Structure 1
């Protein structure tokens, strides 16, 4: 029996869909021609020579096309909805050129020639075979920079839409062919139905201008309408912007200390009964930019949570304490006493206790079995990864919200503590700027923060919200805290700089279903339960190797595109293709000063460490018994393993590189990913070293604090959840002690 889902996370699309994009039908037709070339209909004998005889589902998939409804329209919709004007404009210019003979000649060369007048076809009339050759040239030619970028964005969106779109029964027609299904068969009686934050929740999507004040009053919050300025004035002791690892902890500590706390969250509130495990709607509702967030140069794809609980609601459960050497570096080199104090170690213990961290795993997933077996066969050390879930938690869809309610994010722990002590959470609210006034108290800080101005994401509330507070805490993450501070008029040169991403490069290995020793499918089971550290002779860690969560759409997006046939072959092998991720503690950094625009580059040591991690990951995959291994480099770099010698493996490994973007400048580039963003408003001993002081307070504005990953002095080198929560815990304790001295 399939339980009912929250409407926002349901995949069904009954009836005809209406689109808000402004692409013309001619542009949609040309977009469809490109999508058809990326994922073309193929002859039924295309997969001859593969391991198994094609089933009816595989045959249907072979015949399917990227141009089929609703793919082109949804690609256009995403381009318009994401509001990345440069990308949408670039795609439309390319489509306009392809709609003319002259433009097609410029972009396609002699491949558009025909035998009859006027001897030149526009793109949609070129044969499918020749169109594929055109796209292959675009994908590898670094001198056609804008065209290559347009191709990559269309390819990403086309494949994402094709493999994530579902019908009214929440099924995608291609899933059976690739061995994928969504587990909707949980016993409804075992799924938590409660909404533990209900008593402190005000969901603006259900409010109007006429109801909001009353709803806030029912929660104990004083709110009044200021008709002169057309805004609602709302009063509290502390306002926290963001509800993730930092904001959730800060809200709990301060509410439990007796202060009236309001938490602003841009996203919406979901619980276990709401989650669907459907990749498309889950990305759309739970992630920043709908999960499609590239860096400015297109070389790195960024994942960040955007829902109540933030990243803790959608992360992969890894709960690793801050490494001792990182604490030492931050305490000694960065001169931040907190990280050298017993107080911080006690905070990590308190955090792990509150979010239910366990050390072992009863049953490991297919990908983690691969990592463990490969390491053991090579004599390499592999450790279990602590998780904020039970030891028997076997869930591969926690990245879409945990449908079993087993994972303990801030939405089911710290925020529960906060609302139990009177905190109120306003969802669908986006902070616009901090309220900064001249500070006349004689403090070194020129300004004083009196709260935050926010707007709701619903059209039902037309008035601005002005939340006035003794203390304001920015906890909206390393991607959003800097733009918010800059848009408020703060000038410290560290704001938005020193952004670290823990860049990730992936290696893959294919394990046929006949390999019965390694059980399961790539998307099943605990996402991260094992880790291997890649160390140098001096024991310095160069990288760590873990396993990722990759649904069919994510898998297809990251796969190199060599041809329509190749991408379909890769997808048919999806369920038994294991991925290992190489994560490094990056020395290089980027910046984020404007919301939605991240600039990022690796330095030489980062590239070397990624390369070392990728080579080790490939060795592990070969040792685990993969019949084929490869990377995500754009040229489709791979190696057949059957009967191969160790020397031949090493020769292949010498060709492995982690050539990062920008994709426009590199011939064979490797797409990087990031799920950890840190350091963009780092702590420092003075305003030259950091954007905030060692207590998290802005150097420029008294009463304005940062409690999220942006204040970390550098990259952590491991999954940062425990580090973020422990830092926020310590800082919030200090804020709670000092707030009594601050007059309202």
Structure 2
């Protein structure tokens, strides 16, 4: 999720990084890598989890598309004068199928409403995943995994498939920190987050996605993180996961091949289609249908506009090669934007909404990585290779000794060969090859901060972002501690990804030399920084760009998730969070979505009964 892939396209296109038809490459043996062969495939007769409610536009023709929708309980109307436009009606239309949309679809469909979910990505199951970086990035990630802020200083990873981020994240299940909930309640006046309702929602989410709190066997990097912390006297915490205790997969960032990870595509969305929901994949929302609101019946808060649904575009099977677009017009009683903090704001703005909070307050949980080399001959206590095992099973919090505040969180990333190669700063051809030969036993740890600085996204793909001074100081402190952990665990060499190839050989050096090295650790952001050397930041969590607020000056949506401008238009994804969470936010997003979708159910009953 947090891989910095600035150079991935060029690396994968090069013959040394290509896989053949058997998903093999002769170079992999030299660097100690092979694609995980552990597979628990479906039998040929076993249906895919969402087949009951899935309509995949890339496989549909003009006639079969209408038939598929009709079979699933939808009435399709076509205007003879607009041959490529299809009109359907439902109770609820949801744009997006990730942690927010998946939960909302389940709650509303199980409440008896006819739900349609639009997902611009395609549908994949464990049978489809290859763990190959090139095709996986193209199929599962926003912009093929190559997405950065406008200035190129921060690389951003976001899911773009049925299941959204939950299909490609690293399984980490961490409850919202109590101090964050209290801050949202006290400073932002949002009582939801300290309510019994929210606490109950967390428990419901925890159970539905099958969270386990123990790990039978930790992978190479997490062994090192745990050992280094213990030797330094740092507290190390176990990280719960939405998978079994035995889950030992280091490539879930490209879809879980064993099917063990419980994303929305195998949990909430399954509940939704079992209750009659329809999911249309390969269908991209263009704008919400918003008109003047002539009546505000049963509405506690008067809104001048009203949402009647959404207009989306898609390619049918015969139209893919000529890039011909068909139009889907969905009329609904309630419309929910759940396409994430990067795409919900542009969609709202393109639909004519003008609230000043839309697209602002974007938080990204910025990340920098440290690496350490652990040769097998000197570090045989660490079993396996760095790409094997659960991605995040342990974490360490960097705590300020005076305030006792958490400055950063240290965890392990997923880095397959192309991602690893893209991170390595260029010094020389020989150095680059040497680094790759050490790939299998080079551990990475990353420092992630709860950013107080923020960014802006008002047009699709146009993301600006700036950390504040405190963020930079905190990430530098986290990076230094990550290096200390690697050294304490027994690394023979450690380093950062700073442009000058900053590194330190540990054997035979003095404490003073180590201190001098750590004192030189910096966190300059991007090639245009004022410093001599620079580092490209990474991130995988996007939050807050349509935040919830007690009035329209403090938020884009109210405490029900409803737009302050348009009645019956709701937002139900990470963009409603008031600030950054500070930890992996999957549980927070799903619990918030569960609360909001229950509120939407009650609103539907009042307004449309």
TM-score (norm 1): 0.78
Question: Do 1:368 and 1:547's aligned partners in 2 also have CA atoms closer than 8 Å?
Answer: yes
Q: Which residue of 1 aligns with 2:9?
A: 157
2:351 is aligned with 1:488: yes
2:508 is aligned with 1:643: yes
In 2, the alpha carbon distance for the partners of 1:153 and 1:182 equals 19
More deviation in 261-270 or 152-161? Answer: 152-161
Corresponding residue SS for 1:598:
strand
Considering fraction of residues, name the structure with more helix.
1
Corresponding residue SS for 2:240:
coil
Q: Tell me the alpha carbon deviations over residues 264-312 of structure 1, each in whole angstroms, 9 at most, x when there is no partner.
A: 0011111111111111111110110111111111111111001110000
Report deviation, 1:184: 2.5
What aligned pairs does 1:213-224 form with structure 2 within 5 A after superposition?
Answer: 213-224=66-77
Q: Which residue of 2 aligns with 1:450?
A: 308
Pair 1:272–1:380, CA change in 2 (3 A): same
Structure 1 residue corresponding to 2:575, chosen from 710, 723, 741:
710
Corresponding residue SS for 2:173:
coil
Question: Do 1:164 and 1:279's aligned partners in 2 also have CA atoms closer than 8 Å?
Answer: no
Corresponding residue SS for 1:290:
helix
Corresponding residue SS for 1:399:
helix
- Give structure 1 stretches of 5+ with no counterpart: 1-151
Report deviation, 1:188: 4.9
Structure 2 residue corresponding to 1:720, chosen from 582, 585, 590:
585
Q: Which residue of 2 aligns with 1:289?
A: 143
Q: Which residue of 2 aligns with 1:529?
A: 393
2:583 is aligned with 1:583: no
Q: Which residue of 2 aligns with 1:100?
A: none
2:466 is aligned with 1:612: no
More deviation in 466-475 or 200-209? Answer: 200-209
Q: Which residue of 2 aligns with 1:234?
A: 88
What aligned pairs does 1:82-121 form with structure 2 within 5 A after superposition?
Answer: none
Pair 1:380–1:454, CA change in 2 (3 A): same
Considering fraction of residues, name the structure with more strand.
2
In 1, the alpha carbon distance for the partners of 2:40 and 2:197 equals 43
Structure 2 residue corresponding to 1:280, chosen from 119, 134, 152:
134
Q: Which residue of 2 aligns with 1:250?
A: 104
What aligned pairs does 1:557-706 form with structure 2 within 5 A after superposition?
Answer: 557-661=422-526, 663=528, 666-706=531-571
Corresponding residue SS for 1:470:
strand
In 1, the alpha carbon distance for the partners of 2:8 and 2:186 equals 44
Report deviation, 1:650: 1.4
Structure 2 residue corresponding to 1:508, chosen from 352, 358, 371:
371
Q: Which residue of 2 aligns with 1:171?
A: 24
Question: Do 1:192 and 1:272's aligned partners in 2 also have CA atoms closer than 8 Å?
Answer: no
In 2, the alpha carbon distance for the partners of 1:640 and 1:283 equals 34
In 2, the alpha carbon distance for the partners of 1:523 and 1:194 equals 31
Q: Which residue of 2 aligns with 1:440?
A: 294
Supply the RMSD in Å over aligned alpha carbons.
Answer: 1.7
Corresponding residue SS for 1:406:
coil
Q: Tell me the alpha carbon deviations over residues 93-133 of structure 1, each in whole angstroms, 9 at most, x when there is no partner.
A: xxxxxxxxxxxxxxxxxxxxxxxxxxxxxxxxxxxxxxxxx
Report deviation, 1:441: 1.2
Corresponding residue SS for 1:581:
strand
Q: Which residue of 1 aligns with 2:254?
A: 400
Corresponding residue SS for 2:535:
coil
In 1, the alpha carbon distance for the partners of 2:528 and 2:10 equals 18
Report deviation, 1:665: 5.5
Q: Which has the higher contact order (CA 8 A, sep 6+)?
A: 2
Report deviation, 1:692: 0.7
Question: Do 1:244 and 1:310's aligned partners in 2 also have CA atoms closer than 8 Å?
Answer: yes
Question: Do 2:361 and 2:454's aligned partners in 1 also have CA atoms closer than 8 Å?
Answer: yes
In 1, the alpha carbon distance for the partners of 2:5 and 2:51 equals 40
Report deviation, 1:357: 0.5
Pair 1:208–1:296, CA change in 2 (3 A): same
2:177 is aligned with 1:323: yes
Q: Tell me the alpha carbon deviations over residues 610-650 of structure 1, each in whole angstroms, 9 at most, x when there is no partner.
A: 00000000000000000000011111110000022222211
**Structure having the higher Rg:** 1
Question: Do 1:209 and 1:463's aligned partners in 2 also have CA atoms closer than 8 Å?
Answer: no
Report deviation, 1:551: 0.6
In 1, the alpha carbon distance for the partners of 2:484 and 2:46 equals 45
Corresponding residue SS for 1:199:
coil
2:551 is aligned with 1:551: no
Question: Do 1:522 and 1:576's aligned partners in 2 also have CA atoms closer than 8 Å?
Answer: yes
Report deviation, 1:172: 2.5
Q: Tell me the alpha carbon deviations over residues 501-528 of structure 1, each in whole angstroms, 9 at most, x when there is no partner.
A: 0001000000012121111101000000
Structure 1 residue corresponding to 2:333, chosen from 470, 475, 480:
470
Pair 1:462–1:667, CA change in 2 (3 A): same
Report deviation, 1:377: 0.6
In 2, the alpha carbon distance for the partners of 1:189 and 1:425 equals 21
More deviation in 672-681 or 461-470? Answer: 461-470
